[in-house]
């Protein structure tokens, strides 16, 4: 076969494969050329094998979405009841770490400077609580700033406007 004919046929086969039409039958002139040219027939086999390998199944399909939503609806809400008895000790530990420990440490450090146990305790408590309020206020200010600075409007009650969850029941 002539090299020019092979080049035209191979270009045509490659265009069909890239367009996703490679599995069908090639046009008449190309089919005739493939009967007489083993090199181009081999090229077509390679294209078909490569196109089958390069097209993975999509990770997300509407059928998968329906099955996932059905499984979630069937399972219902999962409530970890074993966690409930741990809430009170965890809360007490949180208070101890965030309030009691700093007040105790500040009282210990301020006692030599202020000369009085009660005065150092009061001053330590005031410092600890004002620091906590300042941190909470700063956190709220940052959340408010982040909410107003985002391009998309945040739904009511959302802390993070860039996270959008959609649930559709079918």
Question: pLDDT tens track of the chain, all 170 residues?
Answer: 567 788 888 888 888 877 765 555 667 778 888 888 888 888 888 887 776 655 555 677 788 888 888 887 777 666 667 777 888 888 888 888 888 888 888 899 989 998 888 898 898 888 888 888 888 888 888 888 877 765 555 555 455 455 445 555 55
Would you call 48 exposed, middle or buried from its count of C-beta atoms within 10 A (0-12, 13-18, 19+)? middle
Q: Does residue 128 fall inside a structural domain?
A: yes
Same domain, 156 and 102: yes
Answer whether residue 25 is part of any domain. Answer: yes
In DSSP notation, 57-121 reads PPS--HHHHHHHHHHHHHH-----GGGHHHHHHHHHHHHIIIIIHHHHHHHHHHHHHH--HHHHH
Residue 75 lies in a domain: no
Instruction: Give dist(CA 123, CA 114) in Å, integer.
Output: 9
Task: Note down the domain range covering 28.
Answer: 3-53
Count: domains in the chain: 2
105, 49: one domain: no
Any domain includes 37? yes
What is the C-alpha separation between 168 and 65, in angstroms, rounded? 10
11 assigned to some structural domain: yes
Q: Are 33 and 40 in contact (CB under 8 A)?
A: yes
Q: Is residue 120 part of a domain?
A: yes
Residues 105 and 159 in one domain: yes
DSSP state of 168: -
In a domain, 144, yes or no: yes
Same domain? 49 vs 100: no
């Amino acid at each position: 076969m002539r090299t020019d004919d092979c080049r035209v046929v191979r270009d045509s086969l490659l265009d069909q494969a890239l367009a996703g039409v490679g599995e069908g039958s090639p046009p008449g002139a190309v089919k005739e050329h493939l009967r007489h040219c083993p090199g181009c027939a081999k090229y077509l086999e390679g294209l078909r094998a490569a196109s089958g390998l390069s097209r993975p199944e999509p990770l997300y399909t509407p059928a998968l979405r329906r099955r996932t939503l059905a499984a979630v609806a069937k399972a219902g809400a999962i409530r970890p009841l074993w966690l409930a008895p741990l809430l009170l000790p965890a809360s007490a530990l949180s208070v101890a770490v965030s309030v009691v420990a700093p007040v105790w440490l500040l009282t210990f450090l301020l006692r030599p400077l202020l000369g009085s146990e009660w005065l150092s305790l009061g001053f330590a408590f005031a410092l600890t609580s004002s620091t906590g309020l300042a941190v909470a206020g700063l956190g709220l200010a940052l959340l408010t700033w982040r909410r107003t600075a985002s391009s998309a409007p945040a739904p009511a009650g959302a802390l993070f406007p860039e996270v959008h969850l959609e649930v559709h029941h079918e």
